[in-house]
């Protein structure tokens, strides 16, 4: 049973990588909007489908579960933060300066993307 679930999740990830970017962007934006407003267990997949203007079947095909939707949206958002962090840390050798930059970049990112910050804090 666990092997079948892992196989289904791997297939969903592979399918998700082939999804067109605008559709994936709408889905991830809907996830951020809806989960920022309500607790995880109070959100239905149909709400996310409506918010992204996609079918429920599309969400199941490409994500498989509500958890996968949330984690995928967070993965994308935090990936952007990580890329930005790498860019800002390049060339800084001093440990204290690197640490200061890490805090600054993180706070700046979350200030500009409060829904991501809210999801990170509520997902912990």
29-65 per-position pLDDT tens digit: 999 999 999 888 999 999 999 999 999 999 998 998 9
Task: Map residue 53 onto helix, strand or coil.
Answer: coil
Residue 116: exposure state from Cβ atoms within 10 A (0-12, 13-18, ≥19): buried
Structure tokens at 31: 């996830």
Q: Mind listing the domains of the chain with CATH numbers?
A: 2-123 (1.10.357.10)
Whole-angstrom Cα distance, residue 1 to residue 88?
44
pTM over cut 0.95: no
Residue with tokens 């679930």: 5
Contacts 24+ apart (CB under 8 A), 39-46: 39/122, 40/66, 40/70, 40/122, 45/69
Q: What is the DSSP letter of 90?
A: T
User: DSSP H helical segments within 19-94, as ranges?
Assistant: 21-37, 45-52, 56-62, 66-89
- The pLDDT score that the predictor gives to residue 59 is 94
Q: Which segments of the chain have a pLDDT < 50?
A: none
- The pLDDT score that the predictor gives to residue 122 is 83
């Amino acid at each position: 049973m666990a092997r079948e679930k892992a196989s289904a999740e791997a297939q969903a990830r592979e399918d998700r990588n082939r999804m067109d970017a605008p559709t994936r962007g709408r889905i991830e934006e809907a996830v951020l909007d809806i989960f920022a407003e309500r607790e995880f267990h109070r959100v239905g997949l149909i709400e996310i489908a409506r918010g992204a203007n996609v079918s429920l079947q599309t969400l199941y095909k490409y994500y498989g579960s509500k958890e996968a939707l949330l984690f995928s949206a967070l993965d994308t958002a935090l990936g952007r933060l990580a890329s930005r962090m790498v860019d800002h840390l390049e060339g800084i050798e001093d440990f204290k300066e690197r640490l200061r930059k890490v805090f600054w970049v993180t706070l700046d990112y979350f200030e500009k993307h409060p829904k991501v910050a809210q999801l990170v804090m509520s997902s912990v």
